[in-house]
Amino acid sequence: MAIQLNKTLYRTVLIVTFLAINGLILYGIGAAWAFMNTGADKTSMLHLEVPMEDVYKPHLEWSNLDNPGRPMEEQALGEITNDYMNAWHVRNIAFKKNDRYGIEDFYTDSARARLYDNIDLNKKNNHWYKRTTLNHKSALDFYTADGTMVVFKDYNVEEYQETYEGETLILKEKDTTSYQVMMLLEDGFWRIRHLKEIPTPADTVEVIERNIAPKLEKIKNQKGINYYPKDSPWDTFGKRFNDTIIDQDFQIIQDMGLNTIRVFIQYEDFGKNRVDAKKLALLNKLLDKAQDHKLDVLITLFDFYGDYDISNWTLTHRHAEAIVNSVKDHPALLGWDIKNEPDLDFDSRGENTVIQWLNQMILEIRKWDKKNPITIGWSTPEAALNLSKEVDFISFHYYKKPQYFIESYKILKYLTPNKPIVLQEYGDSSYDGMWSLFSGSNEKQAAYYKEMQGYLKKEDIPYLFWTLYDFEKVPSSVAGSLPWKTKKQHFFGCLDSLGNKKPSYFELAIKK
For residue range 306-321, list pLDDT tens digits in order.
999 999 999 999 999 9
Mean pLDDT of 340-355: 97
Mean pLDDT of 496-510: 97
Fold of 44-198: Nuclear Transport Factor 2; Chain: A, (3.10.450)
CB 139 within 8 A of CB 163: no
- 267-270 LR contacts (CB < 8 Å, sep 24+): 267/302, 267/303, 267/304, 267/305, 267/316, 267/319, 268/304, 269/235, 269/237, 269/238, 270/237, 270/319, 270/323
Instruction: Parse the chain into domains and list their residue ranges.
Output: 44-198, 213-508
pLDDT category of residue 478 using cuts at 50, 70 and 90:
confident
Query: Which pLDDT belongs to residue 439?
Result: 73
Average pLDDT in the chain: 91
Model confidence over 399-442: pLDDT tens digits? Answer: 999 999 999 999 999 999 999 999 999 999 998 887 667 677 99
Among 258, 274, 256, 379, which residue's Cα sits nearest to residue 317? 274
- pTM for the full model? 0.88
CATH number of 213-508: 3.20.20.80
Among 77, 102, 71, which residue's Cα sits nearest to residue 185? 77
Among 258, 165, 309, 204, which residue's Cα sits nearest to residue 463? 258
Whole-angstrom distance, CA of residue 427 vs CA of residue 509: 14
pLDDT category of residue 11 using cuts at 50, 70 and 90:
low
Q: How far, CA to CA in Å, does 190 sit from each of 42, 287, 312, 457?
A: 11, 45, 24, 64
CB 280 within 8 A of CB 322: yes
- 239 or 487, which is more confident: 239
Query: Is the per-residue pLDDT at 36 higher than 60?
Result: no
Model confidence over 464-477: pLDDT tens digits? Answer: 999 999 998 888 77
Query: Which pLDDT belongs to residue 133?
Result: 98
Tell me the percentage of the chain whose pLDDT exceeds 70. 90
Model confidence over 97-146: pLDDT tens digits? Answer: 999 999 999 999 999 999 999 999 999 999 999 999 999 999 999 999 99
Whole-angstrom distance, CA of residue 445 vs CA of residue 494: 9
pLDDT category of residue 182 using cuts at 50, 70 and 90:
very high
Mean pLDDT of 336-340: 99
Query: Which pLDDT belongs to residue 435?
Result: 65
Chain CA centroid to CA 512, Å: 41
Identify the weakest region by mean pLDDT among 48-57, 210-219, 427-436: 48-57
The beta-strand segments (E) located in 285-366 are 296-303, 333-340
Query: Which pLDDT belongs to residue 483?
Result: 74
